[in-house]
Amino acid sequence: MGCGLRCLPSAVTLAVLACGQVEHSAAQGYTIDPEALEGCRSPDEPGCDRCDPFPEPSNCGYLFWEDEFAEPDESPWYNAGAMVEIEDFDVCTYDYPPCARCTLHDEAALPEFEEESACDCSEVAVDLQYCPAPDCTCYCKRRANTFAACPPAKQ
């Protein structure tokens, strides 16, 4: 089994499959931590149409691709998610494979954030839940989430 969010939970995914120490990035000279690549990276991978972003069994939900939210000619990525209340159970009853922390969608965004920007992200609070407009606040939030999801390999 091999094993992507608008201003959604880019950094809430976890992993399970081991990938060796490979240069694995669209960004020039940037090596992603192999642990961040473990798990489902895209919904078009075999067995990965839905994946579980939560490491704790007490949280219950999954991510998936929703055509309705897609832009024309957009490649599938985990652009939607569902949470399920666990009332009568101690653990989640879904058995989806784990999501990789760094999805293919996240990885593809890295070059955008490595180039110079007019935004000074050191001056912007990035703790908002929703990106209302393509401004510096949203840019900095997406940048922080992308680098949290796809951290550099340890030296």
Query: 52-85: per-residue pLDDT in tens?
Result: 988 776 678 899 999 888 888 888 999 999 887 7
Q: What is the radius of gyration, based on Cα positions, of the chain?
A: 16
Domain assignment present for residue 88? The answer is: yes
Domain assignment present for residue 101? The answer is: yes
Domain assignment present for residue 116? The answer is: yes
Structural domains in the chain (count): 1
CA distance linking residue 78 with residue 2, whole number of Å: 15
Total-model pTM? 0.72
The residue segments making up the domain with residue 132 are 34-149
Domain assignment present for residue 3? The answer is: no
Domain assignment present for residue 20? The answer is: no
Q: How many CB atoms sit inside 10 A of residue 67's CB?
A: 9
Q: Mean pLDDT check: name the lowest of 4-13, 121-130, 137-146.
A: 4-13
